[in-house]
C-alpha cells in the first residue's frame, strides 16, 4: 500500500476553494478519466470512470468534512482506497491545497509505462493543476455546502444546505422554479386582465352576441326582402312603409312604446 501526496497553491480565498471542493458532481471537469460523479446524499457518492479504456465504477463515503479545512473519504472499490484534501490559508487571497491518497499503484490502470507509484503521483499533480485552472479562470465557486461530517455522520445539515446544494439539487430546484414561475405568470396574466379592463374570452363572446342583436335593431322586416334574393330592397321597403295602413301600424307601435307626456 502506497501513500502519495501532492500540493498546489491556488490564488483564491480558502473558503472559495473549499466551497468548490464540496461540489463533487463537478469533479469530471478537472479529474482525469472521471466521467460522472453522482452525490447520493450528504456522505455518499457514486463514481464512474474509464482508465486505459477500462470502465470502472465505485462508491465512496465521506468520513470527515470540516468547512475551509478538509474533506476525507474512503472508497468501496475503485483505484484508490481512501483519500483526503486539506486546505491552508495563504494570506487573504490564497490557499494551499494538499491531497493525500492511499492506494495500491499496481492496481491503478495506466497508459504509460514506468514506476506505478510515480504514475499515480503524476496523475494527482495533473488533476490539481486542472482544478487550480478551473477555479481561477472562473473567479468564483459553482456552489457550496457548509455542513460538517464527523465519523461518517452529517451534522448541521439544515444550515449547510441553506448556503449551498449539490449540482443535482440545483438542477431540480431550477426546474421546479421554472414550473412555478410559468404557473404564476398565467395566474398573474388573468388577474391583470381583470384589473386593466380587458375581458375574458367568455365575456368577449357575450359582447359579440349582444353586438349582433344591436345591429339587427332598425333593420327592415324580412318580409320586405326583394323577391328571389332574401335581401331587403330599401326603395321597396320605404314605399311599403309610406302606405296608409303601414303608417297607422307604425303610429300605434310608437304610442305603445313611448307613453304620451302628461
Shared domain check, 149 and 56: yes
Mean residue pLDDT of the chain comes to 76
Distance of CA 117 to the CA centre of its chain: 43
Q: Which domain holds residue 105?
A: 2-165
What distances in angstroms separate CA 54 from CA 74, 103, 119, 157, one per listed residue? 22, 18, 17, 37
Query: Per residue in 5-40, pLDDT tens?
Result: 999 999 999 999 999 999 999 999 999 999 999 999
Higher pLDDT, 249 or 86: 86
pLDDT over 80 (residue 122): yes
Query: Per residue in 163-214, pLDDT tens?
Result: 444 445 555 544 544 554 555 544 454 455 545 555 555 555 565 665 555 4
Q: CA angle, 239 as apex, 234 and 243 as ends, to 5°?
A: 145
Shared domain check, 128 and 233: no
Last residue of one domain, picked from the residues 148, 165, 182: 165
Between 16-30, 112-126, 130-144, 170-184, the lowest mean confidence (pLDDT) is in 170-184
Is 26 inside any structural domain?
Answer: yes
- Calculate Rg over the CA atoms of the chain: 40
Is 247 inside any structural domain?
Answer: yes
- Whether the full predicted model's pTM is greater than 0.75, yes or no, is no
Query: Per residue in 54-72, pLDDT tens?
Result: 899 999 999 999 999 999 9
Is 223 exposed, middle or buried (CB count within 10 Å of its CB: 0-12, 13-18, 19+)?
exposed
Most confident of 31-45, 73-87, 95-109, 168-182: 31-45
pLDDT bin (cut points 50, 70, 90) of residue 162 is: very low
Q: Looking at residue 142, what is its pLDDT?
A: 96
Shared domain check, 160 and 225: no
Question: What would you measure as the largest C-alpha separation in the chain, in angstroms?
Answer: 124
Q: CA angle, 65 as apex, 62 and 66 as ends, to 5°?
A: 180
Is 120 inside any structural domain?
Answer: yes
Q: Looking at residue 166, what is its pLDDT?
A: 46
Q: What is the CATH number of the domain that holds 42?
A: 3.30.530.20
What distance in Å separates the CA atoms of residue 97 and residue 67, rounded to the nearest whole number?
13
Say which DSSP state 24 is in.
G
Domains contained in the chain, number: 2
Shared domain check, 235 and 116: no
Classify the phi-psi angles of 114: left when phi > 0, otherwise alpha if psi is within -120 to 50, otherwise beta: left
Is 177 inside any structural domain?
Answer: no
Is 192 inside any structural domain?
Answer: no
Shared domain check, 139 and 37: yes
pLDDT bin (cut points 50, 70, 90) of residue 80 is: confident
pLDDT over 50 (residue 223): no
pLDDT over 80 (residue 218): no
Beta strand pairing status for 148-150 and 54-66?
antiparallel
What distance in Å separates the CA atoms of residue 27 and residue 32, rounded to the nearest whole number?
9
Grid coordinates standing for 116? 506505478
Classify the phi-psi angles of 182: left when phi > 0, otherwise alpha if psi is within -120 to 50, otherwise beta: alpha
Average pLDDT over residues 235-255: 60
Last residue of one domain, picked from the residues 149, 165, 181: 165
| Cβ atoms of residues 207 and 200 within 8 Å | no
Q: Looking at residue 186, what is its pLDDT?
A: 45
Is 200 inside any structural domain?
Answer: no
Higher pLDDT, 87 or 158: 87
Is 92 inside any structural domain?
Answer: yes
Shared domain check, 240 and 115: no
Last residue of one domain, picked from the residues 165, 181, 213: 165
Shared domain check, 244 and 150: no
pLDDT bin (cut points 50, 70, 90) of residue 119 is: confident
pLDDT bin (cut points 50, 70, 90) of residue 231 is: low
Q: Which residues is 56 bridged to in the sheet?
A: 49
Amino acid at each position: 500500500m502506497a501513500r502519495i501526496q501532492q500540493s498546489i497553491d491556488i490564488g483564491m480565498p480558502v473558503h472559495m476553494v473549499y466551497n468548490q471542493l464540496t461540489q463533487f458532481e463537478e469533479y469530471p471537469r478537472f479529474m482525469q478519466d472521471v466521467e460522472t460523479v453522482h452525490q447520493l446524499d450528504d456522505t455518499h457518492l457514486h463514481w464512474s470512470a474509464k482508465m486505459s479504456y477500462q470502465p470502472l465504477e465505485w462508491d465512496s463515503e465521506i468520513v470527515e468534512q470540516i468547512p475551509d479545512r478538509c474533506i476525507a473519504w474512503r472508497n468501496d472499490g475503485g483505484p484508490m482506497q481512501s483519500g483526503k484534501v486539506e486546505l491552508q490559508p495563504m494570506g487573504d487571497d490564497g490557499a494551499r491545497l494538499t491531497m493525500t491518497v492511499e492506494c495500491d499503484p499496481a492496481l491503478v490502470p495506466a497508459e504509460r509505462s514506468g514506476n506505478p507509484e510515480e504514475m499515480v503521483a503524476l496523475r494527482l499533480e495533473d488533476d490539481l493543476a486542472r482544478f487550480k485552472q478551473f477555479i481561477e479562470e472562473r473567479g468564483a465557486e459553482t456552489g457550496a455546502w457548509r455542513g460538517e461530517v464527523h465519523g461518517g455522520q452529517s451534522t448541521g445539515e439544515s444550515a449547510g444546505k441553506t448556503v449551498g446544494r449539490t449540482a443535482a439539487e440545483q438542477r431540480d430546484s431550477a426546474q421546479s422554479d421554472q414550473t412555478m414561475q410559468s404557473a404564476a405568470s398565467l395566474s398573474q396574466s388573468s388577474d391583470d386582465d381583470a384589473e386593466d379592463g380587458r375581458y375574458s374570452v367568455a365575456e368577449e363572446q357575450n359582447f359579440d352576441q349582444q353586438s349582433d342583436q344591436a345591429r339587427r335593431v332598425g333593420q327592415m322586416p324580412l318580409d320586405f326582402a326583394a323577391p328571389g334574393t332574401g335581401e331587403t330592397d330599401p326603395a321597396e321597403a320605404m314605399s311599403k312603409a309610406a302606405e296608409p295602413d303601414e303608417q297607422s301600424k307604425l303610429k300605434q307601435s310608437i304610442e305603445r312604446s313611448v307613453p304620451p307626456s302628461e
